[in-house]
Structure 1
Amino acid sequence: MKNLLLFTAVLLFAFTTAQSQEFRLGAKIGLNVASLGGDSGYYGGGISGVSSFGSRRSFHIGGLAEIPLMGKFALQPEILYSSEGSDWSFGTGDTALKLDYIRVPVLAKYYILEGLSAEAGPVFGVLVSVNEDKYVKKDNYKSFDAAFGIGASYRLNMGVFFSLRYNKGLLNVNEEYIDDGVTYSNKNQSNVFQVSAGYTF
């Protein structure tokens, strides 16, 4: 009986503490500065040389929820459309490798002071689009990706917020494949720096 009373008291305390913060829904949009880390590309067979990857500027957009936990902690799941990839230089030619994902970050937040929070957690992704051409095929890239995100947000009293985040790719985005007798087995990760603005209510 005493254990049951103690358990009930702990639950009531946790619930009361959680209610001191607000459950919020919101939307966000922002700039991506994306690049592929890891190997550069080597090409043989009908073409030869080494490609290099640079930063690609694009966007992300989506929605989020903020779920209060105990004390200054909260959980922030999101669902975003995130356009990533890299600028791609090969010889004298430049193009953009576009890898577009549906991303699901699940971030733990800690409020350092009112309005200002630090956030970190896993960022899952499903590949939905690739700008295919003669040398780039969607089948050459893995359908699932995972990264680790870390950043900070500041929310104004009116509900507008601004955030900075860096997503470090944890998995290789490439699939090994053979084309014209040449094996392509590069190991690249999708890394993205994000600047966002949004609104929660």
Structure 2
Amino acid sequence: MKKIILLSVAFLAFSFANAQDKKDMSFGVKGGLNICSVTNADQYGSNSSSLIGFHLGLFGEFMVSDKFAIQPELLYSAQGVKVDSDGDKIDVKLDYINIPVMAKYYIAKDFSLEFGPQIGFLLSAKAKSGGVSENLKDSTKSTDFGLNFGAGYDIGDFTLGIRYNLGLSQLQKDLISGESASHNSVFQIALGYKF
């Protein structure tokens, strides 16, 4: 996994260094708010609610035509869910390195719709309640696949975006009898800057 991350960072850095004078390529940084949940969170407890997290990383935008672009990204993303288990408030925190590849269609000069797949690599999985933390990484799958849907608006060199990530992969390594598969569900609001 470390090799994949390092290769992705090296690729974006190399492309950035060699594409500064090309109008059909741009690179930048982005970050923002995650409003996260996990479907069928009964494996962690009952009465689940959204957990607030964040994402931060790099992106590249490659214009294929006047209206169409491909945007690969490399993001750290703090995700998870809040649950209530027998009166105990538990934060289930799932940290990922996500690599979305978005197809963007500009329906107006500065406004785009986007859609694309995402692969995520689990960095850590913990359940925290009060001062107690339990490691869940051994029972959580190390790879997560999802689909992203969103929209973006450019204001000069700045970009504003909203996106929903629909998790397709089961989070649990093994299902207990009668247990339903859980999936990530993340709504993102992002601010970016193009160099």
TM superposition score category, shorter chain reference: 0.7 to 0.9
The residue aligned with 1:24 is 26
Q: 2:79 aligns with which of 56, 77, 84?
A: 84
TM-score by length of 2: 0.81
The residue aligned with 2:40 is 38
Please report how far the alpha carbon of residue 95 of structure 1 lies from its aligned counterpart in structure 2 after TM superposition: 1.3
Please report how far the alpha carbon of residue 153 of structure 1 lies from its aligned counterpart in structure 2 after TM superposition: 0.5
- Measured in 2, the distance between the counterparts of 1:141 and 1:186 equals 14
- Measured in 1, the distance between the counterparts of 2:25 and 2:178 equals 48
- Share of identical aligned residues, percent? 36
- Measured in 2, the distance between the counterparts of 1:185 and 1:135 equals 20
Asked whether the equivalents of residues 142 and 175 of structure 1 are also in contact (C-alpha less than 8 Å), the reply is yes
Asked whether the equivalents of residues 126 and 134 of structure 2 are also in contact (C-alpha less than 8 Å), the reply is no
Q: CA RMSD in A?
A: 2.2
Asked whether the equivalents of residues 41 and 48 of structure 2 are also in contact (C-alpha less than 8 Å), the reply is no
Q: Name the SS of the counterpart of 1:40 in structure 2.
A: helix
The residue aligned with 1:200 is 194
- Measured in 1, the distance between the counterparts of 2:25 and 2:141 equals 35
Unaligned stretches of 5+ in structure 1?
1-19, 43-49
> Which of structures 1 and 2 has the bigger CA Rg?
1
Work out the number of aligned pairs and report it: 171
1:106-163 CA-to-partner distances (Å, cap 9, x unmatched) read: 0000001111100000011000111256765211000000110000000112x01100
Unaligned stretches of 5+ in structure 2?
1-21
- Measured in 1, the distance between the counterparts of 2:175 and 2:105 equals 43
Q: 2:66 aligns with which of 68, 71, 84?
A: 71
1:75-123 CA-to-partner distances (Å, cap 9, x unmatched) read: 0000000000101210111110000000000000000111110000001
1:13-52 CA-to-partner distances (Å, cap 9, x unmatched) read: xxxxxxx95300000010000000135238xxxxxxx523
Asked whether the equivalents of residues 36 and 81 of structure 2 are also in contact (C-alpha less than 8 Å), the reply is yes
TM-score by length of 1: 0.78
The residue aligned with 2:53 is 58
Q: Name the SS of the counterpart of 1:148 in structure 2.
A: strand
Please report how far the alpha carbon of residue 184 of structure 1 lies from its aligned counterpart in structure 2 after TM superposition: 8.2
Asked whether the equivalents of residues 140 and 177 of structure 1 are also in contact (C-alpha less than 8 Å), the reply is no
The residue aligned with 2:5 is none
Residue 187 to residue 52, structure 1, CA distance change in 2 (3 Å): farther
